[in-house]
Amino acid sequence: RLFAPYPKSHASPIPTLVYFHGGGFTIGSIQTHNVLCRELARIGQCAVISVDYRLAPEHRFPVATNDAWDALQWVSKSAESMGLQANALAVGGDSAGGTLAAVCAIHARDAGLKLALQLLIYPGTAARQETTSHNTYQSGFMLDKATVDWFFDHYIDAKDRDDWRFAPMLAERHDGLAPAWIGLAECDPLVDEGVAYADMLRMAGVKVDLEIYHGVVHGFVNMGRVIPEARQAHQDAGRALKHAFALGQ
């Protein structure tokens, strides 16, 4: 699904964010993230292409990662025919979609595809959920341990959990990746691995902007009608996109 901040009559090609929705690789859709993508397009002044990748359990790992990378490559090759800038691309996603975006950023570096930004909203980055935040927020904070286990049991076999396409932290190297904007929720089992991934990227020389939104839970960016922090995150992410695309001009 394509979201654009301008009418079809707009003459100049515009930059594009390829976005992957969250949902533990098993639920969610372009419809569940409709409002978020509209806001990112409006604030970021860019097109947003929301990808309807295949879900588990019918399509287990690595189908989602393959779909995500195929989608990014297709957008890169087809951008001009859609009135988009082929040389102004970013990837983004939340939760499982953030994992897919991080994986695509690594694939893009290896393929020589330049990205302006990787926009990662509380991404999963670790092979196993063993951090302090996973223990602290394992129950009563929206995304509980039982739900995480259910998602991953339906998505991936135990033997594949150390594959970097599931756990981007385990990629052989992280240098040369696109700059990152990482937005995390304080009361989220995934917050520690998000911080750890930000640190890992910085250590590899990647520019990282990290925002931790206090007092909110996993999934908060989809709650913009009731949570002010969600609207703030929309503004911050949109500005990050706008700035990244401006730097690439």
Does residue 95 have an active-site annotation? yes
232, pLDDT greater than 90: yes
Does residue 218 have an active-site annotation? yes
Residue written as token pair 């949902």: 23
- pLDDT tens digit sequence for 17-33: 999 999 999 999 999 99
Catalytic member of 33, 107, 174, 218:
218
User: What 3 state SS string does the chain have?
Assistant: CEECCCCCCCCCCEEEEEEECCCCCCCCCCCCCHHHHHHHHHHHCCEEEEECCCCCCCCCCCHHHHHHHHHHHHHHHHHHHHCEEEEEEEEEEECHHHHHHHHHHHHHHHHCCCCCEEEEECCCCCCCCCCHHHHHCCCCCCCCHHHHHHHHHHHCCHHHCCCCCCCHHHCCCCCCCCCEEEEEEEECCCHHHHHHHHHHHHHCCCCEEEEEEEEEECCHHHCCCCCHHHHHHHHHHHHHHHHHHHHCC
Tokens matching residue 202:
């910085």
Name the residue among 136, 120, 115 with its Cα closest to residue 200: 120
Domain map (residue ranges) of the chain: 2-247
Q: What is the pLDDT of residue 12?
A: 82
The average pLDDT across 56-85 equals: 97
Catalytic member of 50, 95, 107, 174:
95
Q: What is the pLDDT of residue 7?
A: 64
Question: What angle (nearest 5°) sits at the alpha carbon of residue 117, between those of residues 238 and 179?
Answer: 120
2-247 maps to which CATH number? 3.40.50.1820
Q: What is the pTM of this model?
A: 0.97
Q: What is the pLDDT of residue 225?
A: 85
Q: By percentage, how much of the chain surpasses pLDDT 70?
A: 97
Catalytic member of 50, 76, 174, 188:
188
